C-alpha cells in the first residue's frame, strides 16, 4: 500500500510543482483555458497515434499536436481580438476529434477515460522520475531565459515550454487532472495575499493532493477524478468565501 500511495504522491508533487508556475502565469495573462486547449491537443495527438499508428510514436505525435496548439495560441495572442473564444474553439475541436477517432476503436471509451483522468496510483516510479527530470530541465530553461525575453519571443518560450510540459502531464495523468492542478492552487494562492504566491500554490496543491489520494485509496474511488473534484471544490469554496 505504501509503495502505491508514495508513487502517486510523488507524481502529484512533480505535477503541482511545475504547473503552479504556469497556473499563476496564465491567470495573470487572463487565458485560463489555455491549459485545457493545449492538453486536449496533446490528447488528440495520442488518439491519432492510437488510431492511425496503433499507438506507435505516441509521445512525439502528442508533442507535435501540443506544440502546434501552443504556437497557434502564441500567434493568436498577437493577432486575435477574441483570444478566449479562439482558445475555446480549439479545445472544442480537439475534444470532438478525440471522441471521433476513439469511437472507431474497440477500447475507445477506456482510452478516452484515461486521457481525461488517469488512475495515477499505478504509474511506474521510473515514469515519475523521468518526468521530474524533464520538468527540472524546463524549470531551469525558464529561469535562465523566460524573464529576459520580450515580445513574441517571450510568448513563444512560454507556450512552447508549456506545451512540452502538458504533453508529459497528459500522458501520465490526463487532461482534467492537469487543468485542476494548474488552475486551482494558483487561483487560491492569488486570493490569499500573504507570502510568495508560488510557494503558497505549491503548499496548497501538495496538501490537497495528499488528502485526495488518501481518500481515493481508503474509499476505493477513482484517484484521478477524486483529485480533480477535491481541487475544484476547494477553489470554488475559497472563491465564494474570500473577498476580492
Q: What is the DSSP letter of 54?
A: T
| Domains of the chain with CATH codes | 2-238 (1.10.3470.10)
pTM for this prediction = 0.84
Task: Identify the pLDDT of residue 195.
Answer: 77
Task: Identify the pLDDT of residue 151.
Answer: 81
Task: Identify the pLDDT of residue 231.
Answer: 95
Task: Identify the pLDDT of residue 244.
Answer: 63
Mapped onto helix, strand or coil, the DSSP state of residue 124 is coil
Task: Identify the pLDDT of residue 212.
Answer: 93
Nearest residue to 235 (alpha-carbon basis) of 86, 39, 32, 87: 32
Round to whole Å and give the CA distance between 202 and 210.
Answer: 12
Residue stretches of the chain with pLDDT short of 50 = none
Yes or no: say if 1 and 118 are a contact pair by the CB < 8 Å rule.
no
Contacts 24+ apart (CB under 8 A), 45-50: 45/167, 46/115, 46/170, 46/171, 47/97, 47/98, 47/101, 47/102, 47/111, 47/115, 48/101, 50/101, 50/102, 50/105, 50/111
Nearest residue to 90 (alpha-carbon basis) of 77, 102, 109: 77
Amino acid at each position: 500500500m505504501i509503495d502505491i500511495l508514495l508513487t502517486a504522491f510523488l507524481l502529484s508533487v512533480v505535477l503541482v510543482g511545475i504547473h503552479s508556475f504556469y497556473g499563476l502565469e496564465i491567470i495573470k495573462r487572463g487565458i485560463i483555458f489555455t491549459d485545457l486547449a493545449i492538453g486536449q491537443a496533446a490528447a488528440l495527438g495520442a488518439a491519432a497515434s492510437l488510431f492511425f499508428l496503433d499507438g506507435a510514436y505516441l509521445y512525439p505525435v502528442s508533442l507535435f499536436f501540443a506544440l502546434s496548439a501552443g504556437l497557434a495560441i502564441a500567434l493568436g495572442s498577437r493577432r486575435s481580438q477574441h483570444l478566449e473564444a479562439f482558445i475555446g474553439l480549439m479545445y472544442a475541436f480537439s475534444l470532438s476529434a478525440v471522441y471521433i477517432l476513439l469511437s472507431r476503436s474497440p477500447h475507445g471509451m477506456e482510452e478516452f477515460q484515461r486521457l481525461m483522468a488517469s488512475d495515477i496510483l499505478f504509474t511506474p516510479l521510473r515514469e515519475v522520475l523521468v518526468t521530474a527530470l524533464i520538468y527540472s530541465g524546463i524549470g531551469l530553461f525558464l529561469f535562465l531565459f523566460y524573464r529576459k525575453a520580450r515580445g513574441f519571443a517571450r510568448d513563444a518560450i512560454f507556450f512552447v515550454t508549456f506545451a512540452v510540459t502538458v504533453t508529459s502531464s497528459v500522458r501520465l495523468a490526463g487532461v482534467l487532472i492537469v487543468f485542476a492542478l494548474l488552475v486551482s492552487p494558483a487561483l487560491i494562492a492569488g486570493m490569499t495575499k500573504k507570502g510568495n504566491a508560488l510557494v503558497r500554490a505549491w503548499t496548497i496543491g501538495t496538501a490537497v493532493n495528499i488528502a485526495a489520494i488518501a481518500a481515493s485509496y481508503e474509499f476505493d474511488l477513482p484517484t484521478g477524478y477524486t483529485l480533480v473534484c477535491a481541487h475544484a471544490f476547494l477553489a470554488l469554496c475559497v472563491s465564494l468565501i474570500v473577498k476580492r
